Amino acid sequence: MIVKQYSFPSEQIAKEMILELAQEENELPFNKITVTESTHAIAILGFQDKYEFDEETQESVLVKKAEFYDVDVMWKGRSGYGWSSYEVNPETPNHKFA
């Protein structure tokens, strides 16, 4: 079992990569696919925008818009073809598999 994290420049590229992992008869939307023949789990984090709570307005305020679409994958063996070019190693990941 290998866990890797990926950042894609767009949601569309992430969608294409995930759908390639899924079997053709799979009718789920790409963001609902969690297990495939080559994966134990797929966690789609999406765009991780940064927010801060504004005490004055009592609302969350967007501080920084995310540039990448994040996906974590728990592979059964080696990672899929083409995935390595999107692999990242964040110092403080937003998600971990238990």
Angle at 20 between CA 14 and CA 25, to 5 degrees: 125
Inside any domain, residue 83: yes
Inside any domain, residue 97: no
What domain range is 42 assigned to? 2-88
Q: Average of pLDDT values for 54-71? A: 91
What per-residue confidence (pLDDT) applies to 44? 87
Domain count for the chain = 1
Inside any domain, residue 98: no
- Does the pTM of the predicted model rise above 0.85? no
Inside any domain, residue 81: yes
pLDDT at 69 over 70: yes
Inside any domain, residue 9: yes
Inside any domain, residue 36: yes
- In DSSP terms, 8 is beta-bridged to 69
What per-residue confidence (pLDDT) applies to 37? 86
Taking the C-alpha atoms of residue 45 and residue 95, their distance in angstroms, rounded to an integer, is: 8
Q: Please write the tens of the pLDDT for every residue from 7-59.
A: 999 999 999 898 888 865 666 777 777 888 888 888 888 888 889 999 999 99
